[in-house]
Every structure is written in C-alpha cells, then in structure tokens.
C-alpha cells in the first residue's frame, strides 16, 4: 500500500487575545500602519453600534427579525476591507459587516429587515447580491457570478460568507465542487461561530476543521483566528488577489464565537453552556485590537468616547432615514417580485389594493 496524497490545514493568527503580535511571520503592511488599524477598529465598532440599534428597533416593533454579529465583527470587516469596488459580494443573513464595508448603506440593511419590497437595489454596490436567508444558496449564486466574470475575462473576485452549520448543506458542497472544477475566482468565508442556532459545532461534523471540507473539491483552504482582524484581512487579501488573477477559489474558515442570540427570535440561554459567554468576551475582536492600540499609545479613553459618540450619530442618521422611508403599499409584494406580472396574480393584486394598502402607503415606518 502506498500513499497517493497528503493534506494539511494551516492556521493563521497574528494577534492574541491580549493584543500582542505573536506570529513569527512578518505582519502585513496594513498591520504596521496604526492609522489603518484604527480605521478597522472604528469599522468593527460601527457594526456593533448598528446591531445594538437594530435590536432596539425590533424590540419596539419598528423592524422584523434581525441577526446580530456581536463577537464576529472581525470576520465581516476583515474580508470586506479586502474587497475592491469592482469585486462582488454575495452575502448571507448575518453579513451586515461585509455589506457596510463594501459600501452598502446602513439604512439599506435595515430596510431589508424591515420588509422593504423594492429589495436590495443598493445605491453604491450595484452588483452586490441581496441577503440570502435560505441556507447555503448564496454559495452557488457566487459561483454563477464568478463564472460570468471568468467568461468576460475580468480581474474581479467574488466573496461569499456562510455559517459553519450551512456547510452541511448540499448547496455548499456543490458550490465548492464546481468552483474547483471551473477554477472560479470565489473566496468562501466560513464563519465558524460555534453554533448553528442551538446545535453546537462539535456535533455538526466529524471533521477536525471546517476548512478541510475544501480538500474534497481540490480547493486551497486555511483556518484563521476569526477574532484577529489582522489574520482575517491578510488571508482574505491573499485569496482575493489569487482569485482576480486566475488562481482559483479559496475556503477560509474563521474561528469565532457568537456572543449574542442567533437572531432576535432566539434565546441562547436555553442551550448555551454556563461560562461560555464570560470566556468569549475576553477573546472578542474589538477589545483585542483596542488593547494593541492602547499599548502603542495611539488610543485612549477620550478617543474611545469621541468615536462612540460619532458612531452613534452616524447610526441614528441611518435609522432616521429608515424610519422616514414610507411603508410599501400592499401591491408592492407583486410589483417587485415579477418582471412581468403573471395573469393569475392580477386579481390578487387588485384585492390587495382594495383591502387597505392606502392605510400604510403614506406612513413612515416608525409611525403608529
């Protein structure tokens, strides 16, 4: 018997939970630029402030179900900051960090969760896809986009994100398989936040890592510390550059911990083991980077207070724009679903109008 192939999974971490660079590798250029790190710190805090505000909107009946990204901000901000304007984002439901990072406005994210029927016709990132709530379907959509880019001979990259639980879906396996066969320029980000709703990671797969699922598709893969934004951004930049230049796909598994409920409809205290949150809050990405900036004498309490005040105002402006957007009339559910309305739905549309669309059409979303 002979060995026909061997595989290994590499792990990347630059900064530990105490904010110290521990890797023997030379840090990437952006990590040696304190201004760049401060911007990443600000961007992660923006998402946390946004999530907190979104929870308040849902709890007061001004928005639907919402999935926060608390404790996972380094993942979305990290790979989102590795994207160029020409790249395409195919997000999943917990993708607000990468979406905002790629130019999608906060109010546009809120409008989606508020049931805005026009959908995700973004002002800036026109070719980015809508949020995908069905599990893993976005993986195949990303491959379709990447194939189109490949056929056009364009140097662009497609990023898509998925929770570790979603990698058990057939759509994910089909996507990485076709990405490998066709050498597509896709970067698959696995957000391993340890929980697929209430199912712990340890019983979701018999694999030692989620990254190694890529091996079966012949795709390069790596596991990174998802609480280390330097590692996430560095791995994403490398994968994106490879993808843009015809080098094919990459799977990046980011290890983190969900420090919040799965969504506003969940109660994680029912299944989360005692002490997990306490430990998780000592390793989360924002405090980690703040410790490093403080150790370099470039960040202090005054800086923190000024930043949080500015972010609160920025988010509130977006919330005001969201609340002041008139609610859709009832017939909008038909008008923005079909390019051409099928004849069988015409009577339904008329009935929707008759049953009171005029009661909501002129009211802003925050109105009683």
Q: Is 141 a catalytic site residue?
A: no
Q: Which of 84, 279, 72 is nearest to 163 (CA)?
A: 72
Q: Which CATH architecture has domain 11-323?
A: 3-Layer(aba) Sandwich (3.40)
Cα gap 341→320, rounded to integer Å: 33
Cα gap 121→257, rounded to integer Å: 31
| Residue that the structure tokens 């792990």 belong to | 11
Q: Which residues pair with 252 in a beta bridge?
A: 189, 222
Q: What does the pLDDT read at residue 367?
A: 58
Q: Per residue of the chain (368 residues), what is the pLDDT tens digit?
A: 999 999 999 999 999 999 999 978 889 999 999 999 999 999 999 999 999 999 999 999 999 999 999 999 999 999 999 999 999 999 999 999 999 999 999 999 999 999 988 878 899 999 999 999 999 999 999 999 999 999 999 999 999 999 999 999 999 999 999 999 999 999 999 999 999 999 999 899 999 999 999 999 999 999 999 999 999 999 999 999 999 999 999 999 999 999 999 999 999 999 999 999 999 999 999 999 999 999 999 999 999 999 999 999 999 999 999 999 988 888 888 888 888 899 999 999 999 888 865 555 556 666 54
Q: What does the pLDDT read at residue 356?
A: 64
**Over the range 185-216, which residues count as b (16 or more CB within 10 Å of their CB) and which as e?**
bbbbbbbbbbbbeeeebeebeeeebbbbbbbe
CA trace torsion 275, 278, 279, 285 (10° rounding): 150
Q: Is 42 a catalytic site residue?
A: no
Q: Which residues pair with 224 in a beta bridge?
A: 12, 254
Q: Say which of 156, 262, 290, 365 is annotated catalytic.
A: 262
Per the CB < 8 A criterion, the answer to whether 288 and 15 are in contact is yes
Q: Is 271 a catalytic site residue?
A: yes
Cα gap 349→341, rounded to integer Å: 9
Domain borders along the chain are: 11-323, 331-368
Q: What does the pLDDT read at residue 96?
A: 98
234 CB-near residues (< 8 Å, 6+ apart): 12, 14, 28, 31
Q: Which residues pair with 221 in a beta bridge?
A: 251
Q: What does the pLDDT read at residue 332?
A: 86
Q: Say which of 32, 59, 271, 355 is annotated catalytic.
A: 271
| Residue that the structure tokens 């079909």 belong to | 338
Q: Say which of 141, 156, 258, 365 is annotated catalytic.
A: 258
CA distances from residue 205 to 12, 164, 189, 216 in whole angstroms, order as listed: 22, 9, 17, 15
Q: Which of 9, 7, 22 is nearest to 231 (CA)?
A: 22
Q: What does the pLDDT read at residue 364?
A: 64
**Over the range 30-52, which residues count as b (16 or more CB within 10 Å of their CB) and which as e?**
bbeeeebbbebbebbbbbbbbbe
């Amino acid at each position: 018997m002979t060995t026909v192939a061997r595989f290994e999974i590499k792990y990347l971490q630059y900064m530990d939970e105490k904010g110290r660079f521990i890797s023997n590798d030379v840090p990437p250029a952006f990590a040696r630029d304190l201004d760049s790190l401060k911007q990443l710190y600000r961007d992660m805090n923006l998402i946390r402030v946004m999530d907190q505000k979104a929870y308040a909107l849902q709890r007061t009946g001004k928005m639907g179900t919402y999935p926060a990204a608390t404790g996972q901000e380094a993942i979305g901000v990290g790979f989102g900051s590795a994207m160029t304007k020409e790249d395409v984002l195919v997000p999943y439901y917990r993708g607000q960090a990468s979406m905002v990072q790629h130019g999608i406005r906060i109010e546009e994210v809120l409008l989606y969760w508020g049931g805005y029927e026009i959908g995700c016709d973004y002002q800036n990132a026109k070719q980015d896809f809508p949020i995908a709530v069905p599990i893993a379907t976005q993986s195949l959509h990303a491959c379709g986009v990447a194939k189109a880019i490949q056929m056009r001979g364009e140097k662009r990259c497609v990023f898509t994100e998925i929770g570790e639980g979603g990698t058990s879906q057939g759509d994910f396996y089909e996507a990485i398989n076709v990405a490998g066969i066709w050498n597509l320029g896709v970067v698959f980000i696995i957000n391993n936040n340890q929980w697929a709703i209430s199912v712990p990671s340890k019983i979701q797969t018999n694999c030692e890592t989620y990254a190694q699922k890529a091996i079966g598709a012949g795709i390069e893969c790596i596991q990174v510390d998802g609480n280390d934004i330097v590692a996430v951004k560095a791995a994403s930049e490398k994968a994106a550059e490879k993808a843009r230049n015809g080098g094919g796909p990459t799977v990046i598994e980011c290890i983190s911990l969900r420090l919040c409920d799965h969504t506003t409809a969940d109660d994680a205290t029912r299944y989360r083991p005692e002490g997990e949150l306490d430990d998780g809050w000592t390793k989360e990405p924002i405090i980690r980077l703040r410790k490093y900036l403080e150790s370099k004498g470039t960040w202090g309490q005054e800086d923190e207070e000024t930043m949080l005040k500015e972010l609160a105002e920025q988010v509130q402006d977006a919330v005001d724009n969201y609340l002041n957007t008139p609610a859709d009339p009832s017939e909008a559910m038909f008008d923005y679903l079909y390019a051409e309305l099928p004849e069988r739905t015409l009577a339904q549309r008329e009935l929707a109008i008759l049953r009171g669309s005029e009661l909501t059409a002129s009211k802003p979303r925050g109105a009683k």
